Every structure is written in structure tokens, then in C-alpha cells.
Structure 1
Amino acid sequence: MKLGRLNHVGIATPSIADSVRFYREVMGAEVIREPFDLPAQGVKVCFVDTPIGRAGGTGGPQIELIEPLGEGSPIHGFLAKNPAGGQHHLCYEVPDIHAAKAWFEAKGARVLGEPRIGAHGTPIFFVHPRDMGGVLTEIMETPKMAAGHGS
């Protein structure tokens, strides 16, 4: 397996609305996708597009703003420790989610749960930060087409 494209950086936030204002007003973000609920994951999600390279073209990695949907959300615990929010995870693409899962497990990495459908509508799983240099890492199957939420 090879390291795939960085798809997004997950940022936990207590308020997507406040974070959207920050990315628009302070960071100059021009393309901010409509927030949507992802109840199966216990979160509300909003993607902020970043440009590729210095030319300012679109298509670079995205910022994924993640707000908890209630106290049962996995993001709730992160925000309890980091009330202002912050970087939650990095997400990399792979061509085959099941082959990637088997590869990580064969390396002794702790895969957190079975593959499930993520915010881009493709299968994902997470790898424990202790096995990834201290960074919670999301692995997602490369989207087959550019349709869907933020793809």
C-alpha cells in the first residue's frame, strides 16, 4: 500500500457557524459547502475547499469542520478536552478500503471499527493515533466521481 492523496484535515469545533465565519473572514475561504448532519457518525459536517498550489485553482485538500450532534458524539469527548476545538484527524485516500484495512491490521495497527460510509459517501475507517505517530488518521476509499458532499 502507498500513501494516497491527503483528502482533508478534520477540525473539531463547538460551532460550525462560528468556524465558517472564521474561515471566510480571517482565512479568506471562498468555497464553503453547505453543512449537513451525519447521524450515523454523531456529527454535523461542513467542508471548506482549499486551492491547489500557488495559482489558486480549486481541488486541494479540504478542511472538514466537525460539530457534535449531542453528548453521545465521539467529537463531544474531544471538545471536552479542547473546548475551543482543534485538529481532530487527517484523512488519506486509498484505492481499496478493504485492502487498506487488511494492510494496517497486518502491520499491527489498531483499526477503530469496520469500514463505514463517511461524509464523502465513500467507505472509511480510522486508525488509532498511537499507531500513527500521534495523529488520529482516517482512511477513505477514493471517490469514484466528484459528486456528493464536498468531493
Structure 2
Amino acid sequence: MESEVVTTKESWIPIKPWLHVVGPDAQMPTKSLLAQPGLTFTAWLIGSEMRDTDGVFQQFWDGFKLPDYFGWNFPALNDCLRDLSWIPANQYFLFIEEAHAVLHEHPEEMREFFDILSRVGAKWSYVKHPEGTEEARFQIILGCSKERLSNMTEILQD
């Protein structure tokens, strides 16, 4: 039986199978995001608290309980998110609310940050099960205002 997807094109934009941009009125495609059996880890970060790199690293430090050896820079964030050995889980969800505010006044750092997230999602995805189904093990959902939805989509598709 096919799962029903309840969404509108304007409010739920899949960039990659593991990376989605959503507007304030988005409804999730249930089958693609339901946690699979096993342990699931969820981090909910706030983009308006991530206006500079210190804010980004603090949100990830708190949300992912990063290890003490975290270096508070982008290469260290990339390394930690590609490892996640301190968080034993079968599936990871990263929600960033107000994602349009992340490093908004620092375009080069913003692109580097979102590139890291995309590469991390690619690294963790996909798991192919014996019955033939595939799932992304690291889902990234970026929530943003309706006014910033198309801009955010453009940034991520570059």
C-alpha cells in the first residue's frame, strides 16, 4: 500500500532525499519521515540563535551533546556529525527552526555550513534493507518563513 503524501509544493521542498526545506504551513510526507524501528535521535535547533559561528557551534554542542574534543570550527563540526559514535541510534533527525536566519549575514560561512549538512546527510544515507526498501538514516528538515522559502531553496540547490 502506498503511503499518502499530504503536502503542497510551496511548503515542502525536497532538496535531496535527506534534506528538506519546509514553510510554516508544511505538512510532512509521513512515510518518508516516520522513524524506523530502533533508536531514534532528534535534535531541534533554533536558527535565530545561529547568526554567527559561535551560535552555530553552541546550538550543535547543546543539541547533539558534542564530545569534549569538539574543536568549535567547521571541520570539527563536520567530523563530529559524520561520526556520532557517542549517540547510538539507528536514525537521526535534525530540525532547524528559522533556518533562514542561520549565518544570514555571513554568506560564505552559511554556504559552508549547509554544504557540511548536505555532505553529512549523504554520508549517513541510504540504508538498503533486504526487503528492498531504502531509508535515509540522517534526515535534515530546515524550517523557514514563507517569505524566505524560495531563497533558502536556491541556496541549497547551488
TM-score, length of structure 1 as denominator length: 0.26
Which structure has more relative contact order (CA 8 Å, sep 6+)? It is 2
**Comparing both structures, which one devotes a greater share of its residues to strand?**
1
Relative to total residues, which structure has the larger helix share, 1 or 2?
A: 2
